[in-house]
Amino acid sequence: MRRSLRKSPEGLTVIAGYPWFEDWGRDTMISLPGLALCTGRPEVARRVLATFARFLDRGMLPNRFPDGAAAPEYNTADAALWYVEAVRAYHAATEDDALLAQLYPALAGIIGWHRKGTRYGVGQDQADGLLRSGEAVVQLTWMDAKVGDWVVTPRTGKAVEINALWYNALRAMALFSRRLKRSPGEWDAEAARVAAGFDRFWNEAERCCFDVLDGPSGNDAAVRPNQIFAVSLASSPLSPERQRNVVEVCARRLLTSFGLRSLDPRHSNYKGHYRGGPTERDGAYHQGTAWGWLLGPFALAHFKVYGDREAALAFLEPLGSHVDAYGVGSLGEVFDGEPPFAPGGCPAQAWSVAETLRAWSELAGGQRRRPR
């Protein structure tokens, strides 16, 4: 939608969800391919990418744009990395070399700032090449529920999806460099180093990835859906066998009809119902509540490792049937982690709609079949 922003009076942006959310950088970049590219509106994607480039600061993209004259908030460890992926998806769909060349310095700046370090402890550990992030009472990943000074899932350390995005961004930069006839050597070498470091995420006991490495209490073995991005993103640091193991574990422990649970039900902190007052809801938000937007990446990851298009499409069918069940003509934000998977949160959530559209578009291809 059109949104007058301080640095871009004619800016175009995405509202994360109705009726409660504003402009969120992370949500916008995750949603952009599904909302704009899969719907045949590349010019919208181009304009959003150009708008947000004006707000890059110290290698970071704003987490949210508050209403009024308040300054953007940069408390996010992943929005800029999702921006790189959105540029990759846009260029793959359009081959718009002009915009790629225009944005290339900003993209290189994102990587540079992450390598040397930026706000909130976000920076590369030179020992293993991985990205660390986190400070007290600050929530930096998409699991960002906070009540007062209580950060429900702080995830301080090296979060798995942040580093999957980091590896993906480095591979994207190598791709961009080749396209623009620049040397990709630096990006290829750094990506190889990060892939080697990413091996540390493998939890052999669970046959899947740790959620966070090197946190205040060591490595976090909680089984969460964040690891699915180490499979579903364009470039994966995992071997094919480990990719398949991740999908299998997520299917067994996290998959519901309408999304992936945010925490394994076997975990002591698991909360299967999203209900109660604000404190109770925020306490369950990322501790078992299922998220619809994760079903798209899961379906794409499933197809990637099994090659069964019909099986992958079938995972999306329940959400297709849900369009008229909660927010009419849209898809909601969250669902209970337990049957009957009651919906909650925003009745119209951008990334729920976008990731379902993107996965369906990629899996169905030119087929006439539509979600029911």
CB distance 223 to 253 below 8 Å:
yes
Report phi then psi at 63, rounded to 5.
-75, -40
H helix runs in 21-128, sequence order: 25-32, 42-53, 79-94, 97-116
Say what the pLDDT of residue 263 is: 98
- pLDDT reported for residue 159: 98
pLDDT at 320: 86
CATH for 125-253 is 1.50.10.10
Return the pLDDT at 8. 59
Cis peptide before 62 (omega within 30 of 0): no
> How much is the pLDDT for 118?
98
Residue 210, C-beta contacts closer than 8 angstroms, at least 6 positions apart? 160, 200, 201, 202, 203, 219, 220, 221
* Average pLDDT per 10 consecutive residues for the chain, totaling 372 residues: 59 86 92 97 96 95 77 93 98 98 98 98 98 92 92 96 98 98 98 98 98 97 98 98 98 98 98 95 97 98 98 95 85 96 95 97 66 32
Amino acid at 292: G
What pLDDT shows up at residue 23?
A: 83
Closest to 163 measured CA to CA, from 184, 133, 189: 133
Taking the CB of residue 179, how many other CB atoms lie within 10 A of it?
Answer: 15
Domain with CATH 1.50.10.10 in the chain: 125-253
User: What letter would DSSP give residue 72?
Assistant: P
Residue 1: exposed, middle, or buried by beta-carbon count in 10 A (0-12, 13-18, 19+)?
exposed
